[in-house]
């Protein structure tokens, strides 16, 4: 089990930067930094690790290596508040179903991820991931995240999906729209799922282009700082 701490400081201070940034860092030292634990779950290969690495390092990993458990850290400012965001990457494979909940105690917010080009991972939000996190952490806010946004409208990706499903057909034809509905997840579907699992937000992003990426983590933090009213008192989750 490896642990990596990749600290992403927005506007890091160097000797060449203006004094205004130095003053900003001094304010960070004075204002207590709130720690938030964010755990990322979802099927294997939906892009959870790429999401975290792209966010914390601004680099996109080129090779897929299944995660067991990894930790990342990012110091960020959200709505004028300094936050130490602890990011917990988890394994989506069934082999780790018994180990994965060990990451859940004291979680402040979950990112439940699915791939926008994998309807199976979308269905597993309902069948597996929501039941799992709500069982262990019934009062912890959830952000539903559709990943691989760059591929949803990618012509090559669509044609590859079509070729896999229709090996005897040369290219998509008039039935393309019905095909896409069954193989590509759209925004209304994501919104519907978010409502079904009572997620705080539904967001889409690309770890490759970083479109929508920062917003995912900003909204995760806001979900903790400004929680929605609930019938019961909110508490961090604990391992039962």
Which stretch of 96-100, 104-108, 122-126 has the lowest confidence by average pLDDT?
96-100
What percent of the chain lies above the pLDDT cut of 70? 72
Q: Which CA distances in Å does 232 have to 98, 199, 229, 235, 237?
A: 28, 16, 9, 9, 13
Q: What is the pLDDT of residues 14-62, one digit of tens each?
A: 333 333 333 444 555 566 899 999 999 999 999 999 999 999 999 999 8
Distance CA 139, CA 159 (A): 42
DSSP helix/strand/coil, 201:
strand
Q: Is the pLDDT of residue 90 over 70?
A: yes
Whole-number Å distance between alpha carbons of 37 and 85: 6
Q: Which of the four CATH numbers 3.30.9.10, 3.40.50.300, 3.40.50.2000, 3.90.550.10 does domain 7-148+187-225 have?
A: 3.40.50.300
State the Cα torsion 16-35-195-179 to the nearest 10°: 50
Q: What is the pLDDT of residues 128-167, one digit of tens each?
A: 999 999 999 999 999 999 999 999 988 776 666 656 655 6
Domain ranges in the chain?
Answer: 7-148+187-225
CA 46 from chain centre, in angstroms, equals 10
């Amino acid at each position: 089990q490896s642990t990596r701490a990749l600290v992403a400081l927005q506007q890091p201070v160097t000797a060449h930067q203006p004094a205004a940034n130095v003053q900003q860092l001094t304010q960070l030292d004075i204002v207590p930094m709130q720690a938030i634990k964010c755990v990322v779950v979802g099927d294997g290969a939906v892009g959870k690790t790429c999401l975290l690495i792209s966010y914390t390092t601004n680099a996109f990993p080129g090779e897929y290596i299944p995660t067991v458990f990894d930790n990342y850290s990012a110091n960020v400012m959200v709505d004028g508040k300094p936050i130490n965001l602890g990011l917990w990457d988890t394994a989506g494979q069934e082999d780790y179903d018994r180990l994965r909940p060990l990451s859940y105690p004291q979680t402040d917010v979950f990112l439940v991820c699915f791939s926008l080009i994998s309807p199976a991972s979308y269905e597993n939000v309902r069948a597996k991931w929501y039941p799992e996190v709500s069982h262990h952490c019934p009062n912890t806010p959830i952000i539903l995240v559709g990943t691989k946004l760059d591929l949803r409208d990618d012509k090559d990706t669509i044609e590859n999906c079509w070729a896999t499903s229709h090996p005897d057909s040369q290219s998509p034809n008039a039935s393309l729209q019905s095909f896409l509905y069954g193989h590509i997840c759209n925004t209304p579907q994501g919104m519907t799922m978010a409502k079904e699992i009572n997620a705080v937000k539904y967001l889409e992003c690309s770890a490759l282009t970083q479109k929508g990426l920062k917003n995912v983590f900003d909204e995760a933090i806001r979900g903790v700082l400004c929680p929605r009213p609930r019938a019961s008192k909110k508490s961090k989750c604990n391992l039962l």
